[in-house]
């Protein structure tokens, strides 16, 4: 039997892990700059026009949060779907002023038998498709549909260095972008159902966990939802997270955290804990104890909200940081937890 590492060895390893996570955070933040604080309510609330005052914006947001149809794509069961080899494309039901963003791209990795599918929502500013994860699941019988989130990959805004329109100090545009990602995800699920898939799960990574969680909360077709590095309140994540410091720099002189939470109420997964607690939905949350992007206390608060609503999520806490979840052994542990969750029969 191999000897367990000493306490000192473990301390040194975790210190190195923290430094590696900080290096990754600095790398990502190099291209991010503070942008102007904007409401732009008309992007997400029809008829709002040149609405002034954050209080009015918050009132519209709280109304939208209570409106079940807010996340219902208008053409959910129909669209111009085109499948060519490993790619599925279609027009988003939510049209933006960035034309290239209005075409949705989905990378399909086929598994056999073709009866179970996993829709994957990647992290903010992802630079490549998660092919290792897709191959891992496909070899174990799951067809994987990796959806391109707004303003990423083929949908990137021309001239942008990162997905600044997906998450920013523009309150209306961020609401619009996340709503678009949910609408697009639900359209993919409709396509999968029409193609014969009976069991559909969603997997979200970091920012993608908010999209995946909102899809699961609003779409009864989803039977399992795995949320990696999630935190419930997107407003709190942006306000406290290492990766979003430039956004907070823009927000802090203009709006307080309490108002900010109300403005982004439709993006707070905790507000939909009751829907996530439905009997037909299984939940897995994978958290990083050393996370400085999505603070662990935010994740734990969300877990309490789920449990108070009657949900019984499986929770896996790993002693790593946000970025080091991608390193061994943590990526292997997370992958094993995901597979056991998706495939409890084996």
Distance CA 308, CA 302 (A): 10
SS3 state at 283: strand
- At 55-70, the pLDDT tens digits run 999 999 999 999 989 9
85 within some domain: yes
- pLDDT tens digits for range 208-232: 999 999 999 999 999 999 999 999 9
Domain-embedded: residue 9? no
Q: Which residue has better confidence, 310 or 11?
A: 310
Is the pLDDT reported for residue 2 higher than 60? no
pLDDT at 9: 81
Query: What's the pLDDT score for residue 64?
Result: 96
Q: β-strand 87-91 against 116-121: which pairing, if any?
A: unpaired
Supply the Cα-derived Rg of the chain in whole angstroms: 20
Answer yes or no: is 2 within a domain: no
Mean pLDDT confidence for 163-170: 97
Is the pLDDT at 165 greater than 90? The verdict is: yes
227 burial class (0-12, 13-18, 19+ CB within 10 angstroms)? buried
Q: Is residue 24, in this structure, part of any structural domain at all?
A: no
Question: How many domains is the chain built from?
Answer: 1
- Looking at the domain assignment, is residue 63 inside a domain? yes
Predicted pLDDT at 3: 58
Q: How far is CA 232 from CA 11, 161, 238, in A?
A: 30, 27, 11
Q: Structural domain of residue 209, as residue ranges?
A: 29-342
Could you tell me the pLDDT band of residue 10, with boundaries at 50, 70 and 90?
confident
Mean pLDDT (the chain, rounded): 95
Q: Report the share of the chain in percent with pLDDT over 70.
A: 98
Counting beta carbons within 10 angstroms of the beta carbon of residue 230, is it exposed (0 to 12), middle (13 to 18) or buried (19 or more)? buried
The model's pTM is 0.96
In percent, the amount of the chain with pLDDT more than 90 equals: 90
Distance CA 316, CA 7 (A): 22
Q: What is the pLDDT of residue 345?
A: 66
What CATH number is given to the structural domain containing 199?
3.40.50.1820
Residue 156 has pLDDT above 80, yes or no: yes
The pLDDT confidence band at residue 48, using thresholds 50, 70 and 90, is: confident
Q: What is the DSSP letter of 229?
A: S
Q: Is residue 11 part of a domain?
A: no
184-202 average pLDDT score:
96
Residue 10 lies in a domain: no
96-125: per-residue pLDDT in tens?
999 999 999 999 999 988 899 999 999 999
Can you tell me the mean pLDDT for 239-268?
97
In a domain, 17, yes or no: no
Of 2-11, 208-217, 336-345, minimum mean pLDDT range: 2-11
């Amino acid at each position: 039997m191999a000897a367990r590492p000493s306490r000192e060895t473990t301390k040194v390893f975790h210190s190195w892990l923290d430094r590696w996570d900080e290096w990754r955070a600095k790398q990502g933040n190099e291209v991010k700059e503070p942008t102007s604080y904007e409401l732009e309510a008309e992007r997400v609330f029809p008829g709002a026009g040149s609405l002034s005052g954050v209080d009015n914006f918050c009132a519209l947001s709280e109304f939208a949060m209570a409106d079940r149809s807010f996340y219902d794509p208008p053409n959910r069961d129909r669209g111009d779907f085109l499948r060519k080899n490993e790619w599925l494309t279609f027009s988003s039901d939510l049209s933006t002023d960035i034309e290239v963003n209005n075409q949705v791209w989905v990378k399909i990795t086929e598994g056999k038998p073709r009866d179970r599918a996993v829709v994957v929502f990647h992290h903010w500013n992802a630079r490549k498709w998660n092919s290792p994860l897709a191959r891992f699941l496909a070899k174990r019988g799951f067809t994987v549909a990796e959806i391109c989130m707004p303003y990423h990959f083929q949908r990137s805004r021309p001239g942008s260095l990162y997905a600044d329109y997906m998450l920013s100090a523009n309150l209306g545009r961020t609401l619009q972008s996340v709503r678009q990602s949910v609408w697009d995800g639900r359209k993919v699920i409709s396509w999968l159902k029409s193609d014969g898939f009976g069991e559909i799960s969603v997997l979200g990574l970091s920012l993608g966990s908010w999209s995946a969680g909102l899809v699961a909360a609003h779409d009864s077709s989803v039977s399992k939802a795995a949320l990696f590095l999630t935190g419930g309140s997107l407003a709190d994540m942006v306000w406290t997270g290492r990766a979003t410091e430039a956004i907070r720099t823009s927000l802090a002189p203009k709006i307080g955290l309490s108002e900010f939470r109300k403005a982004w109420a439709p993006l707070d997964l905790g507000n939909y804990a009751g829907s996530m607690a439905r009997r037909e939905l299984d939940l897995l949350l994978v958290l990083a104890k050393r996370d400085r992007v999505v603070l662990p206390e935010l994740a734990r608060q969300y877990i309490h909200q789920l449990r108070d609503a009657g949900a019984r999520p499986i929770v896996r806490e790993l002693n790593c940081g946000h970025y080091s979840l991608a390193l061994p052994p943590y990526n292997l542990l997370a992958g094993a937890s995901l597979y056991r969750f998706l495939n409890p029969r084996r």
